[in-house]
Amino acid sequence: MQTDMVALVKEKAGPGLALIKKPVPIPGPGEVLIKIRKTAICGTDVHIYNWNPWSQRNIRPPLTIGHEYVGEIAALGPGVPGFGIGERVSGEGHIVCGHCRNCRAGNAQWCKDTKGVGVNRDGAFAEYLCIPACNVVPVSEAFPEEIVAFFDAYGNATHAALMYDVAGEDVLITGAGPIGVMAAAICRKNGARNVIVTDLNDYRLKMARAMGATATVSVSRDSLDGAMARRHMVEGFDVGLEMSGSHLALDQMLSKMRNGGKIALLGILGEQARVDLNEVIFKSLTMTGIYGRRMYETWYKMGAMLEAGLDLSPLITHRLHFTDFEKGFAAMQGGLCGKVILDWSVQ
């Protein structure tokens, strides 16, 4: 087996990323080596590329980035049963301690000591990735490889969209980024009546409609009230999914919920965000913070929904070789994209 590999690395503090040669990791006890086939770029990777204030606080270079991937098992460390060499896998990007109260209660998504693949330890934008066996998720060969490449983000969308019962409900999704758009498709698949998606970006609103949103609203131009009235919605939204990270979007959502409505908060708010909690009190709203995915019930639902016909393919807008990573990051920066897939095959 080869001993060196190419990896996309944040080499030092500051903007940019570099493709460099590194040794192929050797799986230790309980670990699995994955040969990466395809990856997808997440907004977090763009933050690390840009070296924004969050990255400056959290990223310790040198670091191989990336956490959305599909690959195959290349080698097993000592004491890892149950996987076959060549088996197709993706993986849970949150590596948990396994012994805190939440981990032991089966709520590992709330672990007090989570480490992120491609954030706190070397990630998947490389020819090989080494992770603990318990994080490896076997994936059916029936699912398109480029969709499995962004299962991590699909998991965020699934966890948020299924937090509350959406069958027969009217759902507001603020933010038509890849996660908001996937959430729209998931809500429709699970029987929501109206799924209205807001954004400022027309390209992304079009994507939301292609993925099943019943209506979209460009909040810089149109009123949400008009869209609601056209659908005979008089009491407000039953379920809200905040997926923009904008406090303006959250304010708007709070003002359009019906009394007793439920909100899942996924978008990460800026430090200056202010929220009118009196809206929450007087409307008796329920709000839940969403972080990551449930381990591993969300993964189960993700596979099951694809088997039941959920189609995420309209979301893929860019397919590039990893050596063209700069083009992929430029597309993500410009916002005229859905998912950007990088192919890691090496001739």
User: Which does residue 111 touch among ligand NAD, Zn ion, none (CB within 5 to 8 A, set by kind)?
Assistant: Zn ion
286 is annotated as an active-site residue: no
Interface residue with ligand NAD among 27, 91, 267, 328 (CB under 6 A) is: 267
Both tokens of 197, joined, read 């998606």
Structure tokens at 10: 């944040």
For Zn ion, the binding residue among 6, 20, 46, 97 (CB under 5 A) is 97
| First-residue to last-residue Cα distance in the chain | 15
The reply on whether position 111 binds Zn ion by CB under 5 A is yes
Residue at shortest CB range from ligand NAD: 177
Of 96-104, 133-141, 173-181, 321-329, which part binds ligand NAD (CB under 6 A)? Answer: 173-181
Catalytic residue among 39, 44, 214, 298: 44
Stretch that binds Zn ion, among 1-9, 77-85, 98-106, 218-226 (CB under 5 A): 98-106
Closer to ligand NAD at the Cβ: 6 or 269?
269
Locate tokens 């379920």: which residue? 239
295 lies in the site for Zn ion, by CB under 5 A? no
Angle at 139 between CA 212 and CA 305, to 5 degrees: 25
Q: By CB under 6 A, tell whether 268 contacts ligand NAD.
A: yes
Residue 100 touching Zn ion (CB under 5 A) = yes
- State the nearest-atom distance from the C-beta of 288 to Zn ion, in Å: 20
Q: Does 158 bind ligand NAD (CB under 6 A)?
A: no
Q: 47, 94, 159, 318: which is the annotated catalytic residue?
A: 47
- Binding of ligand NAD by 107 (CB under 6 A): no
Task: Give the position of tokens 């913070």.
Answer: 289
Long-range contacts at 247-250 (CB < 8 A, ≥ 24 apart): 247/272, 247/273, 247/274, 247/275, 248/219, 249/174, 249/175, 249/198, 249/219, 250/174, 250/275
The residue assigned the tokens 């699995």 is: 32
Nearer CB in complex with ligand NAD: 75/103: 103
Structure tokens at 297: 């019930």
User: In terms of Cα–Cα distance, which of 16, 79, 71, 67 is closest to 41?
Assistant: 67
Q: Is-catalytic flag, 317? A: no
Nearer to ligand NAD, 92 or 127 (CB): 92
The identity of residue 36, as a single letter, is I
Distance CA 294, CA 158 (A): 10
Q: How far is the CB of 104 from Zn ion (least distance, A)?
A: 8
Residue 175 sits in the site that holds ligand NAD (CB under 6 A): yes
Stretch 277-296 residues interacting with ligand NAD (CB under 6 A):
290-292
Residue 150, CB-side half-sphere exposure with 13 Å CA sphere: 27
Among 227, 217, 221, 232, which Cα is nearest to 174's?
Answer: 217
Q: Using DSSP bridges, classify how beta strands 215-218 and 237-242 pair: parallel, antiparallel or unpaired.
A: unpaired
Catalytic residues: 44, 47
- Binding interface with ligand NAD (CB under 6 A): 43, 156, 174-180, 198-201, 204, 219, 243-246, 248-249, 266-268, 290-292
